[in-house]
């Protein structure tokens, strides 16, 4: 028998969080503060996965080096496969600048889309300016959450939920489609940058028959653990990952608000999953030589 807490921290199972956002896209905290929060949460590693950008990765890496916490360089790409949008995590990116350069065109498309959303909102009697949205995004990759924040600030809606439910969500009057990268092309881009392509939060859409052609298109892994998943999703996706030889991933998808279980380390992802990913990265890189 040991005393409660004896042997900490070694006896405490190490956990990681492989999905988090910063001010480089639609997160609230700067990359360095995301890494600080991960360190304070006691995580062994955190992945920075901003939407269509790796702009926050260099800062996150240097903060990780200062605090002795591992930072996994990543991004979350908006891709198309079939008739759906699928989010794809790039994890363990080696050529951070190279992949970021290739995503620039999608960030520009996000800017053009924000202009169209502004046009819609003005027509709908909710005057906002592109300038407000740009200042909300602070030079990072622009997304609907930045528009939502402006709608809240102007008092047009009470909160984010109302902004999406009434105006910005799919099928709502101010919804504008994004330019999406084809999934296969996105997987190639990620592989060329030395990373792994991991399908983000497939949830109930993650069925064997749907995922099989996506694996042939280049997927390396599945995010089996995510706050948006039901327990049944994690079980099913874990089985599919094993059958297709995919690595598992998981994370909180933290954007910085203290809402619900989308907080760092809420998913308690075991360090072993990261070790499996490291092995897969090594195999991939060896294969490319
Ligand atoms: P975008 O990349 O511009 O299409 O915006 C998508 C992002 O908006 C997601 O990654 C979420 O962070 C956020 N989002 C999407 N739907 C909602 C919602 N109903 N309520 C709050 N945030 C949302
Ligand atoms: Zn987001
Ligand atoms: Fe996502
Ligand atoms: Fe995300």
The count of C-alpha atoms lying within 13 angstroms of the C-alpha of 249, restricted to the half-sphere facing its C-beta, is: 34
The count of C-alpha atoms lying within 13 angstroms of the C-alpha of 159, restricted to the half-sphere facing its C-beta, is: 3
Instruction: Please report, for the domain that includes residue 270, its CATH number.
Output: 3.20.20.140
Give the bridge partners for 74, in sequence order.
Answer: 49, 91
Instruction: Based on the fold, state whether residues 25 and 154 are members of the same structural domain.
Output: no
Instruction: Based on the fold, state whether residues 76 and 146 are members of the same structural domain.
Output: no
Instruction: Based on the fold, state whether residues 202 and 276 are members of the same structural domain.
Output: yes
pLDDT in tens, 54-71: 999 999 999 999 999 999
Residue of 227, 289, 277 lying closest to 93 (CA atoms): 277
Query: Coil, strand or helix: which one is 89?
Result: strand
54 domain-assigned: yes
Rounded to the nearest integer, the mean pLDDT of the chain is 94
99 domain-assigned: yes
114 domain-assigned: no
1 domain-assigned: no
Instruction: Based on the fold, state whether residues 23 and 64 are members of the same structural domain.
Output: yes
Please give the angle made by the CA atoms of 162, 168 and 174, to the nearest 5 degrees.
125
Structure tokens that stand for 77 in this block:
């790409």
Question: What is the 233 CA–ligand 2 centroid distance (Å)?
Answer: 21
Question: What is the 3 CA–ligand 2 centroid distance (Å)?
Answer: 42
Instruction: Based on the fold, state whether residues 17 and 97 are members of the same structural domain.
Output: yes
Instruction: Based on the fold, state whether residues 38 and 90 are members of the same structural domain.
Output: yes
Please name the residue that has the structure tokens 């939407």: 51
pLDDT in tens, 106-157: 999 999 999 999 999 999 999 999 999 999 999 999 999 999 999 999 999 9
In this prediction, residue 262 carries a pLDDT of 77
In this prediction, residue 240 carries a pLDDT of 98
The verdict on the CB of residue 178 being under 6 Å from ligand 1 is yes
112 domain-assigned: no
Question: What is the 125 CA–ligand 4 centroid distance (Å)?
Answer: 30
Q: Ligand 2 being an ion, which residues bring their Cβ within 5 A of it?
A: 26
Instruction: Based on the fold, state whether residues 123 and 238 are members of the same structural domain.
Output: no
Instruction: Please report, for the domain that includes residue 153, its CATH number.
Output: 1.10.150.650
Task: Kindly state the average pLDDT of the residues 78-105.
Answer: 98
Q: End-to-end CA distance of the chain, in Å?
A: 51
Instruction: Based on the fold, state whether residues 70 and 185 are members of the same structural domain.
Output: yes
Q: From the CA of 78, give the closest atom in ligand 1.
A: 2
The verdict on the CB of residue 51 being under 6 Å from ligand 1 is yes
pLDDT in tens, 69-91: 999 999 999 999 999 999 999 99
Q: How confident is the model at residue 13 (pLDDT cuts 50, 70, 90)?
A: confident
Question: What is the 27 CA–ligand 2 centroid distance (Å)?
Answer: 7
Instruction: Based on the fold, state whether residues 151 and 279 are members of the same structural domain.
Output: no
In this prediction, residue 259 carries a pLDDT of 56
User: How much is the pTM?
Assistant: 0.94
Sign of CA dihedral 67, 250, 22, 256: negative
Count of domains for the chain:
2
Ligand approaching nearest to the C-alpha of 253:
4
Torsion of CA 156, 157, 162, 166, to 10 degrees: -20
Instruction: Based on the fold, state whether residues 160 and 187 are members of the same structural domain.
Output: no
245 domain-assigned: yes
163 domain-assigned: yes
> Which domain does 74 fall in, by range?
10-105+179-287
Instruction: Based on the fold, state whether residues 145 and 19 are members of the same structural domain.
Output: no
The verdict on the CB of residue 81 being under 6 Å from ligand 1 is no
Query: Coil, strand or helix: which one is 224?
Result: strand
Q: From the CA of 76, give the closest atom in ligand 1.
A: 10
pLDDT in tens, 19-59: 999 999 999 999 999 999 999 999 999 999 999 999 999 99
Instruction: Based on the fold, state whether residues 149 and 232 are members of the same structural domain.
Output: no
95 domain-assigned: yes
């Amino acid at each position: 028998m040991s005393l409660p807490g004896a042997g900490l921290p070694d006896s405490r199972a190490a956990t990681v969080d492989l999905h988090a956002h910063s001010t480089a896209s639609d997160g609230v905290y700067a990359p360095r503060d995301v890494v600080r929060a991960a360190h304070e949460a006691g995580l062994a590693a955190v992945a920075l996965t901003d939407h269509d950008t790796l702009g926050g990765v260099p800062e996150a890496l240097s903060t990780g080096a200062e605090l002795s916490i591992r930072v996994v360089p990543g991004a979350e790409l908006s891709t198309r496969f079939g008739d759906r949008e699928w989010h794809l995590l790039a994890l363990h990116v080696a050529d951070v600048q190279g992949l970021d350069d290739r995503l620039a065109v999608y960030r520009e498309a996000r800017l053009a889309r924000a202009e169209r959303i502004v046009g819609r909102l003005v027509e709908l009697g909710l005057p906002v300016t592109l300038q407000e949205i740009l200042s909300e995004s602070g030079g990072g990759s622009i997304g609907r959450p930045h528009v939502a924040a402006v709608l809240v600030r102007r008092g047009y809606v009470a909160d984010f939920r109302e902004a999406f439910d009434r105006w910005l969500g799919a099928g709502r009057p101010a919804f504008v489609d994004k330019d999406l990268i084809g999934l296969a092309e996105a997987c190639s881009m990620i592989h060329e940058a030395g990373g792994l392509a991991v399908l983000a939060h497939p949830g109930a859409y993650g069925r064997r028959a749907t995922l099989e052609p996506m694996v042939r298109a280049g997927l390396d892994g599945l995010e089996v653990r995510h706050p948006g998943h039901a327990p049944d999703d994690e079980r099913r996706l874990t089985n599919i990952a094993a059958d297709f030889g995919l690595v598992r991933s998981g994370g909180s998808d933290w954007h910085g608000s203290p809402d619900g279980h989308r907080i760092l380390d809420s998913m308690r992802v075991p360090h072993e999953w990261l070790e499996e990913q490291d092995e897969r990265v090594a195999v991939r890189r060896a294969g490319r030589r």
